[in-house]
């Protein structure tokens, strides 16, 4: 065997060892990460322009996220056996349905409210993300008790005449059944001028769900950007949720670029995961 062949072989071996050595700190760092106590999910409203169930499944698999809050674009209200069949399809594809919504309750009428709770029951929703009115919420609460399905009232910001902020929700539900709580929309809450970590602490045990979006201008709904490109204090929010031992989900609700959402969604999820990794968690 020639000297040159040994040299080449040794050089290649050395390069392999160098590459392994360079990768080792990253590997060890990844191994040292703890499982994340923050569960990242998707509000399927994000993919509202893509209504076929398989399209939603494909998006979720591309994102490597299994937790989904289903909007009725992706699980239409209809015959209850069809609702159950649709929900079963998503579960058969490995998705975990964390709830349904946002579902509106504009009428203070048993028939309207019952139909929506029947839908939630058929779908197997553990949680309804809801938009009731001040007039309907008392009757909606009675169905929460009857069906034993939790209800999270979604705040919609300054233009919402019912529940602009989580604090407005708390003021109405403070003496209601403990299964009635809040879905805190962080972007909409920012626009009401509330401190986000402090708001989460205020909501406390009534915090059932979170929708996250980011804004470049804290006062303008139209300034939404990918999470991490705006003013949202994501790390402080995650730190607060961990201190609260929040058991629910942080659902990305990306409301812009509806016909081509994936570039912004991918950026958002990557930023969320990087934030958690910087905190020592593997998401």
pLDDT averaged over consecutive 10-residue blocks of the chain (283 residues)?
Answer: 43 45 48 92 98 98 98 97 98 98 97 98 98 98 98 95 96 97 97 97 98 96 96 98 97 96 98 98 91
Q: Dihedrals φ, ψ of 180, to 5°?
A: -105, 120
Would you say 171 and 145 are in contact if contact means Cβ atoms under 8 Å apart? no
To the question of domain 34-282 being in CATH 3.30.530.20, the answer is no
H helix intervals, the chain? 3-32, 53-63, 80-92, 110-123, 137-147, 166-173, 186-191, 196-203, 234-244, 262-278
Q: How far is residue 54's CA from residue 66's CA, in Å, rounded to a whole number?
A: 14
Q: How far is residue 269's CA from residue 42's CA, in Å, rounded to a whole number?
A: 10
Q: Tell me the per-residue pLDDT of 263-279, one tens digit each, with 9 for 90 and over.
A: 999 999 999 999 999 99
H helix intervals, 33-102? 53-63, 80-92
* Model pLDDT, residue 203: 98
**Which residue is associated with the tokens 């700190």?**
25
* Model pLDDT, residue 17: 42
Q: How far is residue 221's CA from residue 237's CA, in Å, rounded to a whole number?
A: 20
* Model pLDDT, residue 29: 55
Q: Dihedrals φ, ψ of 217, to 5°?
A: -130, 120
Q: Tell me the per-residue pLDDT of 105-128, one tens digit each, with 9 for 90 and over.
A: 999 999 999 999 999 999 999 999
Q: How far is residue 155's CA from residue 103's CA, in Å, rounded to a whole number?
A: 12
* Per-domain boundaries in the chain: 1-32, 34-282
Instruction: Give residue 258's Cα distance to chain centre.
Output: 17
Q: How far is residue 198's CA from residue 219's CA, in Å, rounded to a whole number?
A: 18
Q: Which tokens sit at 278?
A: 């910087």
* Model pLDDT, residue 30: 56
Q: How far is residue 15's CA from residue 75's CA, in Å, rounded to a whole number?
A: 53
Would you say 123 and 100 are in contact if contact means Cβ atoms under 8 Å apart? yes
* Model pLDDT, residue 253: 97
* Model pLDDT, residue 1: 43
**Which residue is associated with the tokens 């809801």?**
130
Q: Which tokens sit at 187?
A: 């972007």
* Model pLDDT, residue 24: 44
């Amino acid at each position: 065997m020639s000297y040159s062949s040994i040299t080449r072989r040794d050089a290649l071996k050395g390069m392999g060892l160098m590459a392994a050595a360079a990768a080792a700190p990253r590997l060890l760092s990844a191994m040292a990460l703890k499982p994340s106590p923050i569960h990242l999910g998707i509000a399927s409203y994000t993919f509202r322009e893509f209504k076929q169930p398989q399209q939603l499944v494909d998006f979720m698999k591309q994102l490597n996220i299994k937790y989904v809050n289903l909007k009725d674009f992706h699980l239409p209200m209809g015959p209850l056996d069809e609702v159950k069949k649709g929900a079963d399809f998503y579960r058969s594809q490995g998705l975990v349905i964390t709830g349904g919504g946002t579902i509106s309750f504009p009428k203070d009428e048993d028939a309207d409210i019952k139909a929506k709770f029947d839908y939630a029951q058929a779908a197997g929703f553990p949680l309804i993300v809801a938009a009731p009115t001040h007039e309907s919420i008392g009757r909606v609460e009675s169905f929460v008790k009857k069906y034993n399905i939790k209800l999270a009232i979604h705040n919609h910001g300054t233009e919402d005449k019912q529940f602009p902020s989580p604090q407005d929700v708390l003021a109405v539900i403070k003496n209601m059944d403990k299964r009635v709580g809040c879905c805190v929309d962080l972007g909409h809450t920012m626009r009401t001028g509330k401190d986000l970590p402090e708001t989460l602490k205020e909501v406390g045990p009534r915090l059932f769900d979170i929708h996250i979006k980011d804004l470049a201008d804290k006062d303008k709904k139209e300034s939404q950007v990918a999470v991490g490109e705006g003013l949202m204090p994501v790390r402080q929010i995650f730190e607060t949720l961990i201190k609260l031992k929040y058991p629910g989900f942080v659902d990305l609700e990306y409301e812009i670029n509806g016909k081509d959402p994936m570039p912004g969604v991918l950026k958002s999820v990557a930023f969320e995961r990087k934030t958690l990794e910087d905190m020592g968690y593997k998401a």
